[in-house]
């Protein structure tokens, strides 16, 4: 550590003598600087030992002089005697005592440069010691990598006399040292989320209920946070040791990250086969790697973040305590096949991010790997289609979760994107709307009433307040304008849909 006033006083070659009995001599000295200005603070950073021969005392009030130096945070004042002053003026000693500014008497035989050299040598020795310490710490952390992540954290905690833990993107504690340190993660949830929300490598130092804590992102694989804390502040050298630990952990998990990425790509390819190609044996390939994909009764889920990023969602799902579900990225969404009863747990894991929308299919019926009712789609593929439809509805309604079974009760238009539905309705009904521009909507309302009463003339005419022959004339005219057969059930269904939109 840098030189303190005590160490300078202990150096007999300097001959320094404390002049204030109650002064704190344990203060660190950042530098030694000489000045005869009445107010040298504009040229000082704080933490220096100021050296003077006493000229300012003749030009200013000793109390004001000592007060300015103390307020600026100087480590102390060295007063050279034997030149302008035979001894330290009593008024200055009393002023330094009042403001608790350490005052040292510098004998005439000691040049100020000798004090500056002593401070400089102490700073150089401290810098060298920090380099040696960082090098030794890095060697120790590298050797600890052979014992895995927990071994690295245990060594880091011993080096810094601190506790250390690693949490993943879902705030689950993956590793901690010493034993019991994992409980501290609960008090860091907000700060951990702030660090994870930033892109790239991020660090944060905080002071609060958990003492002084350094947080830094780390790959697990998947993004996580290394938190290191203790009751005393961390020095820059301590922070470098934390950085070395992050580097070691990154190297330790680099191979695991590459393997995880390859597994995700393979899982995505197998899922695509399961969706579109029955009988290809995709489930048999997946079983020895991740277990048998979920069968009958399982649900398909489609998850999407607002920014379309899928890595964080997959990290959250793969970091769960239970065996990860069969999940894979597809475009800007993550598709999940979840065992019966697992859907809610998957949704809770994904809810780590408040901007996630989710769609849930109906339970898969029959053999998931067999051909489905729709050509080219397996039961799994049909379930995924349902989940994607529900996801789109969740996005349109600004809801976190929509289940496919809920869409039927909401109407057919919920299954069609709003822009497409509006465009279809406008195109289909345009001839009637143009006709009705100066006729108070008589054709549009007549078609609506006629369809509402299932094509029955008398009830529809009564609802409109017109004669049934008048209604027949209007419907015939609407058919001509639309150039469609209104007796066709399909045409009637399209018209009803357009009128609802």
pLDDT in tens, 22-45: 788 989 999 999 999 999 999 999
- Does residue 157 carry a pLDDT above 50? yes
- Does residue 478 carry a pLDDT above 70? yes
Take residue 365 and report the two structure tokens written for it.
């019926």
- Count CB neighbours of 342 within 10 A: 19
Take residue 76 and report the two structure tokens written for it.
């102390």
Quick one: pLDDT at residue 206? Answer: 79
Question: DSSP per residue over 428-453, as a string?
Answer: HHHHHHHHGGGTTTHHHHHHHHHHHT
Peptide bond into 66 cis (omega under 30): no
Quick one: pLDDT at residue 370? Answer: 54
- Does residue 418 carry a pLDDT above 70? no
pTM passes above 0.75: no
Of 258, 304, 274, 288, the C-alpha closest to 400 is 304
Candidate ranges 116-125, 137-146, 329-338; pick with highest mean pLDDT: 116-125
- Does residue 96 carry a pLDDT above 60? yes
Mean pLDDT of 196-225: 78
Query: Which CATH fold topology does 418-500 show?
Result: Arc Repressor Mutant, subunit A (1.10.10)
- For 100, which DSSP code? T
Mean pLDDT of 292-304: 81
Better-scored residue on pLDDT, 258 or 394: 394
Mean pLDDT of 126-153: 80
Mean pLDDT of 452-467: 82
Quick one: pLDDT at residue 413? Answer: 57
- Does residue 65 carry a pLDDT above 90? yes
Quick one: pLDDT at residue 70? Answer: 94
- Count CB neighbours of 251 within 10 A: 12
Mean pLDDT of 174-179: 85
- Which residues, at least 6 apart from 182, have a Cβ–Cβ distance to it below 8 Å? 165, 173, 176
- Given a contact cutoff of 8 angstroms between Cβ atoms, the answer to whether 379 and 368 are in contact is yes
Better-scored residue on pLDDT, 77 or 408: 77
Of 172, 21, 191, 192, the C-alpha closest to 94 is 21
Give residue 83's pLDDT band: very low, low, confident or very high (50, 70, 90). confident
Query: Which CATH fold topology does 277-414 show?
Result: Alpha-Beta Plaits (3.30.70)
- Does residue 376 carry a pLDDT above 70? no
For the chain, the domains span 5-110, 134-254, 277-414, 418-500
| Strand, helix or coil for residue 255 | helix
Mean pLDDT of 409-430: 67
Candidate ranges 115-129, 244-258, 393-407; pick with highest mean pLDDT: 115-129
Quick one: pLDDT at residue 283? Answer: 67
- Given a contact cutoff of 8 angstroms between Cβ atoms, the answer to whether 429 and 451 are in contact is no
- Does residue 373 carry a pLDDT above 70? no
Quick one: pLDDT at residue 375? Answer: 47
Better-scored residue on pLDDT, 295 or 385: 385
User: Distance between alpha carbon 329 and the CA centroid of its chain, in Å?
Assistant: 20
- Count CB neighbours of 216 within 10 A: 21
The second-level CATH assignment, the architecture, of 134-254 is 2-Layer Sandwich (3.30)
Q: How wide is the angle at C-alpha 85 spanned by C-alphas 82 and 89, nearest 5°?
A: 130
Mean pLDDT of 141-155: 83
Buried b (16+ CB within 10 A) or exposed e, 469-501: eebeebbeebeeebebebeeeeebebbebbbeb
Give residue 316's pLDDT band: very low, low, confident or very high (50, 70, 90). low
Q: What pLDDT digit, counting tens, does each position of 258-270 carry?
A: 666 776 777 767 7
What CA dihedral angle connects 491, 496, 497 and 498, to 10 degrees? 90
- Does residue 321 carry a pLDDT above 50? no
Please state, rounded to an integer, the average pLDDT across all residues of the chain.
81
Better-scored residue on pLDDT, 305 or 101: 101
Q: For the CA atoms of the chain, what is the radius of gyration?
A: 39
- Does residue 147 carry a pLDDT above 50? yes
Quick one: pLDDT at residue 138? Answer: 77
Mean pLDDT of 42-64: 92
Quick one: pLDDT at residue 318? Answer: 63
- Does residue 450 carry a pLDDT above 90? no
Mean pLDDT of 216-228: 81
- Does residue 357 carry a pLDDT above 50? yes
| CATH classification number, 5-110, choose in 3.40.50.2000, 3.30.450.40, 3.40.1390.20, 3.40.250.10 | 3.40.1390.20
- Does residue 367 carry a pLDDT above 80? no
Question: DSSP per residue over 335-396, as a string?
Answer: EEEE-TT-HHHHHHHHTTSTTEEEEEPPPP-S-TTS--SSTT--HHHHHHHHHHHHHHHHHH
- For 234, which DSSP code? P
Quick one: pLDDT at residue 278? Answer: 62
- Quote the CA–CA distance of 449 and 463 in Å, as a whole number: 7
% of the chain residues with pLDDT over 90 = 21
Q: Quick one: which H or E segment has residue 31? A: strand 31-34
- Does residue 401 carry a pLDDT above 80? yes
Quick one: pLDDT at residue 3? Answer: 84
């Amino acid at each position: 550590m840098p030189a303190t006033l005590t160490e300078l006083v202990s150096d007999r070659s300097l001959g320094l003598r404390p002049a204030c009995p109650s002064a704190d001599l344990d203060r660190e000295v950042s530098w030694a600087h000489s000045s005869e200005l009445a107010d040298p603070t504009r040229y000082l950073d704080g933490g220096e030992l100021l050296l003077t021969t006493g000229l300012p005392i003749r030009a200013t009030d000793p109390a004001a002089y000592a007060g300015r130096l103390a307020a600026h945070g100087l480590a102390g004042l060295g007063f050279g005697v034997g030149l302008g002053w035979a001894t330290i003026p009593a008024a200055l000693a009393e002023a330094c005592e009042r403001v608790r500014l350490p005052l040292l008497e510098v004998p005439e035989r000691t040049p100020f440069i000798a004090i500056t050299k002593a401070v400089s040598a102490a700073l150089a020795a401290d810098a060298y010691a920090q380099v040696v310490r960082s090098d030794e710490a890095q060697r120790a952390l590298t050797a600890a990598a052979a014992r895995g992540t927990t071994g690295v954290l245990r060594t880091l905690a011993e080096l810094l006399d601190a506790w250390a833990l690693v949490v993943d993107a879902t705030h689950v504690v993956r590793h901690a040292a010493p034993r019991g340190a994992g409980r501290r993660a609960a008090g860091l949830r907000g700060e951990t989320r702030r660090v994870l929300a930033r892109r790239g490598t991020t660090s944060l130092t905080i002071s609060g209920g958990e003492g002084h804590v350094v947080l830094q992102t780390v790959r697990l694989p998947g993004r996580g946070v290394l938190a290191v804390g203790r009751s005393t502040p961390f020095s820059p050298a301590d922070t470098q040791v934390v950085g070395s630990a992050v580097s070691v952990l990154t190297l330790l998990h680099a191979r695991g990250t590459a393997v995880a990425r390859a597994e995700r790509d393979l899982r995505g390819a197998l899922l695509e086969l399961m969706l579109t190609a029955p009988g290809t044996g995709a489930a048999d390939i997946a079983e020895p790697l991740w277990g048998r994909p979920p069968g009958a009764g399982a649900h398909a889920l489609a998850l999407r973040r607002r920014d379309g990023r899928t890595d964080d969602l997959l990290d959250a799902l793969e970091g769960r305590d239970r065996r990860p579900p069969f999940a894979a990225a597809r475009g800007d969404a993550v598709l999940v096949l979840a065992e019966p009863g697992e859907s809610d747990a998957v949704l809770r894991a994904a809810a780590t991010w408040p901007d996630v929308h989710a769609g849930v299919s109906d339970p898969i019926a029959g053999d998931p790997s067999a051909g489905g009712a729709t050509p080219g789609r397996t039961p799994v593929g049909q379930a995924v289609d349902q989940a994607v439809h529900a996801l789109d509805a969740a996005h349109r309604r600004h809801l976190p979760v929509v289940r496919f079974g809920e869409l039927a009760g909401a109407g057919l238009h919920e299954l069609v994107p709003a822009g497409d539905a509006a465009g279809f309705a406008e195109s289909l009904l345009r001839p009637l709307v143009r006709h009705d521009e100066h006729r108070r909507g008589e054709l549009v309302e007549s078609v609506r009433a006629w369809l509402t009463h299932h094509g029955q003339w008398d009830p529809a005419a009564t609802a409109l307040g017109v004669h049934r022959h008048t209604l027949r004339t209007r419907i015939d005219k609407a058919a001509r304008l639309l150039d469609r057969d209104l007796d066709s059930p399909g045409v009637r269904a399209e018209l009803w849909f357009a009128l609802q939109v």
